[in-house]
């Protein structure tokens, strides 16, 4: 994997574990020679990931809607900064520029990006791994919810493995590199759905 899209929050939580881990994630990706594709912001976890990668000599590609550039939250130190009109264009460019997706702590925008990456994989719009780095137990309840979706039958067993979850970045990346995409909904017949 040459580039990973990193989905994360633009907020700065009170607990420093989130900012410190985000900065460390950026640094570690650069050390592994993996470029960062992210939301293009300079604030919160977004800025910390970018700063960590840049400080370690890594590639950082930001993708930001023009409305946020106007609000002066763009990270102008990125290797590349793409300005788009809509969030849909932003997510499509994340997909086009990356070899996989890693979600770290964030809020509703981060969840939107994660669910879309999973949904597109399930449908067959991409065959890229979707990782979830569960920093400090932040996503424990979400992981439980995904398990519940599978138990109830809203998430097919073969699609449960689309979301690769781990608490350690290096292990998560290694598991994502070994990811084998499941049979997609588009490839299934109506009887299987």
Confidence of residue 69 (pLDDT cuts 50, 70, 90): confident
Structure confidence at residue 54 (pLDDT): 98
Distance CA 142, CA 111 (A): 10
Structure confidence at residue 62 (pLDDT): 98
- At residue 82's C-alpha, the angle toward residues 80 and 84, to 5°, is 175
Structure confidence at residue 192 (pLDDT): 72
Structure confidence at residue 60 (pLDDT): 98
- Over the stretch 8-53, which tens digit does the pLDDT of each residue have? 999 999 999 999 999 999 999 999 999 999 999 999 999 999 999 9
Q: How many CB atoms lie within 10 A of CB 143?
A: 14
Structure confidence at residue 193 (pLDDT): 66
Residue 60 bridge partners (DSSP): 36
Question: What pTM was computed for the model?
Answer: 0.95
Distance CA 127, CA 109 (A): 22
pLDDT value at 188 more than 90: no
Q: Do 185 and 162 touch, CB atoms closer than 8 A?
A: no
Q: Among positive and negative, which fits the CA dihedral 168, 171, 177, 181?
A: negative
Show the domains of the chain with their CATH numbers. Answer: 3-192 (3.40.50.450)
Distance CA 134, CA 93 (A): 25
- For residue 131, report the phi and psi dihedrals to the nearest 5 degrees: -105, 150
Q: Do 132 and 161 touch, CB atoms closer than 8 A?
A: no
Alpha-helical (H) ranges within the chain are 17-31, 44-55, 66-70, 87-97, 108-123, 140-152, 157-160, 169-177
- Over the stretch 110-157, which tens digit does the pLDDT of each residue have? 999 999 999 999 999 999 999 999 999 999 999 999 999 999 999 998
- Over the stretch 75-98, which tens digit does the pLDDT of each residue have? 999 999 999 999 999 999 999 999
């Amino acid at each position: 994997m040459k580039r990973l899209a990193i989905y994360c929050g633009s907020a700065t939580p009170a607990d420093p574990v989130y900012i410190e881990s985000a900065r460390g994630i950026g640094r570690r990706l650069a050390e592994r020679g993996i470029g960062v594709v992210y939301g293009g912001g300079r604030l919160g976890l977004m800025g910390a990931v970018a700063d960590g990668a840049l400080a370690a000599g890594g590639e950082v590609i930001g993708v930001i809607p023009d409305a946020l550039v106007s609000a002066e939250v763009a990270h102008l130190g990125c290797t590349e900064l793409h300005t788009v009109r809509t969030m849909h264009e932003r997510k499509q460019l994340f997909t086009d520029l990356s070899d996989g997706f890693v979600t770290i702590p964030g809020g509703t925008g981060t969840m939107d990006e994660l669910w879309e990456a999973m949904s597109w994989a399930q449908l067959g719009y991409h065959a890229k791994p979707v990782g979830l780095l569960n920093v400090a137990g932040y996503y424990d309840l979400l992981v439980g919810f995904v398990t519940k979706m599978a138990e109830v039958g809203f998430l097919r067993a073969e699609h449960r493995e689309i979301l690769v979850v781990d608490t350690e970045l290096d292990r998560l990346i290694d598991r994502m590199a070994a990811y084998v995409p499941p049979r997609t909904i588009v490839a299934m017949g109506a009887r299987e759905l």
